Structure 1
Amino acid sequence: MNTIRTAMLLAFLTALFMAVGYLIGGGGGMVIAFLMAAGMNLFSYWNADKMVLAMNHAVEVDASNAPEFHAIVKDLADRAGLPMPKTYLIDNPQPNAFATGRNPQNAAVAATTGLLERLSHEEVAAVMAHELAHVQHRDTLTMTITATIAGAISMLGNFAFFFGGNRDNNNPLGFIGVLVAMIVAPLAAMLVQMAISRTREYEADRRGAEICGQPLWLASALDKIARAAERIPNMDAERNPATAHLFIINPLSGERMDNLFSTHPATENRIAALQAMAKESGGRSGPAATPDPEAGTGPWGRSQNQSTAPWGRSQSQSGGPWGRNHPTGPRGPWS
C-alpha cells in the first residue's frame, strides 16, 4: 500500500509540474516544463549523492580508519542481501545519519561523529539498518526525484512572478493562472514531498528493525537522536534544508509535530510502532531500553570479551569509531 501511495504521489507531483508549465505558457510551456523535469531528474540521478555528501562535508572511510563502523555496515548489508555501500563519516556533534545513491550498487551511508559517540553499538547498528532499508527500498532515488521536481515547481513559480503577468494567449487563465503557479503549486508540491518522506520513514523503520533483529534498539536510538537534535544544531543541514528529509531524524530546529508540514513523522509515533512490532514478535514491550552507562556501554567502551553484534560476531578490540585504542591513538579522518 505504501508503494502504491508513493507512486501516486510521484505521479501527482509530475502532473503538477507540467500543469504549472501550462498555466505559465500554455501547451508550449508544458512541453518546456516536461523537458526541464527530464533534464533535472537525469542530472540528479547521476550526481545527487555526490552533492548531498559534499553539502554535509562527509568523508569516506573504510576498514582501515573506521574498522568498527565499517564492520557494522558490512554485517548489516550481508544480512539484508545488499552490496556493501560506501561508508562516510560527518564531523558533526549532532547524532544523525542518512543514505544516498541511485541504486543499491551505487549507494552510500553516512553517520555523524555524534551518532557514534552518543549511541551504543546496538543503537548504531539499528540506525544503519534503517538507512540500509532505505537503500533496499530505493527510497534514496525516490526522494531525490521528489526533491528535484518539488524544487523545480518552486522555480517555475518564481518564473511566473517575473514573466507570467502578461494576459496573452500563452497563458490560458491569465492572472489567476499566475497566482496558482506562484502560490498554490509550490505549496502543493511541498506537501506531497513531505507526505512521501513520512511514508518512507515508517517503512524504513520496519525493515530496519527486521535487518538488525531488534525493534527496540531502533526505538531507543530514535529517542536519543531526537532529544539530542533539539539541543545540538546541525549547521550544514541548516544551510541546506532541502536535504533534511534524508536524515533519520529531522536535523533542523523546530520540527516536532506529526502534521502535513513535517518532513518526518513524530518520533513518539515511530517509537510506538516499533514497540508494537517488538511485542508482536515476542520481544520486550514498553519504553525503549537505554543501556546502563555503568555497564561499559557504547560501541567503543564495552568489555573486550563481550560479543555485541546481533548476528553473533565478536567485535574488534580497536576501541573507537576511528580504530584508535582509547584513550590514545590517531583520531581518524580529521586528525
Structure 2
Amino acid sequence: MLKKLFFVCTFSLISFSLLAQETVITLWKTVPNQKETNEQEIVKIGNIKSISNVQVPSFEVFIAPKNISTKKAVLILPGGGYGNLAFDHEGTNFAKWLNTLGISAFVLKYRLPKSKSIIKPHLAPLQDVQRAIKLIRFNAEKWNIHKNKIGVLGFSAGGHLAATLGTHYDYKSYENQDNIDNLSAKPNFMALIYPVISMKDAITHQGSKFNLLGKNPSKEIVHFYSNELQVNNKVPPTFILHTTDDNIVPIENSLFFFQALKKNNVLTEMHIYPKGGHGFAFGKNNPHLKNWIALLDKWLKNQ
C-alpha cells in the first residue's frame, strides 16, 4: 500500500512538474494598434490545430529541463499565410522537440492582419514578434536562458515574419509601454523553413501578400516587407530550408534571400531538397525529408 501511495505521489509530482513548464504569457498590458470590437478568436481542431482571428497575442512557454539545458531559446512562428496559425503542426510540436535538445521554446500566437480589430493590419505581426523577443530577453534569468542566445524559427508566412524581424528588429513599430521595451528585439539567430520572403509579385505567395498588405499596397510598403531587399551585415546568422518542387511558396524566395545574405557576409546555411512540396513540418512520412531536422539540430548546436 505504501509503495502504491509513493508511486501515485511521485507520478503526481512529475506530472505537475511537466505541466508547470507550460505556461501562456500575454504580450501586452494594452495591445497597441487595436480597437475594441466584438470579434472572437477562432480555434479549429482537426488534423492540425488552427487558430485565427487572434485578439489577445501571447506565447506558450516550454522550458528545457535544467539537467540538459543549453540556455538557448527559440521563438517559434507558425505559418498559415497570415490568415491562420498552424499552431501545433508548426508550433508546439517543435517546441517539445527543441526541449529534448535542451533548448527552451516559445510558440507565438501573433495577431493576423485580416482581423477587423487591427488599425494598421501589416504592423500587428511585427509588433507582436518584437515584443515577444523582448519579453523572453527580459525573463531570461528566470527561465534559465542566456539573453544573447535567443533565436527565431519560422515556417512559411511565419518564416516571412521571422525574416522581417531579422531585418527590421530595430524598426520602432510601437511606442514603449514599459522597461521591457528598452531591450533589443534582435534575434541572435534565425531558421527559416519553406519561408515566404518577398512581397514582389514575381515570387511572393499571393495569399500571404494579400492578407498582410491588402489589395493595392504601395510600392513603399511592398519594398519594406520584401526582406531580400532589407538585408545588411547586421542580420543574424541564418538557416534556410526549402524544396525545389514547392508550388505554394516558390523556392526563389529562399534563393534571393540567400544571395542577399551572402552579399552582406551574413553567416548562412541553406539546404534545398528536390522533392517535398510545402508545409511538411517534420516530414516524417517523406523519405526525402524525414532527416532534415538533424541538419537543424546540428546547426543550432553551433549557434
Largest Rg, 1 or 2: 1
Q: Which has the higher contact order (CA 8 A, sep 6+)?
A: 1
TM-score, normalised by the number of residues in structure 1: 0.32
TM-score, normalised by the number of residues in structure 2: 0.34
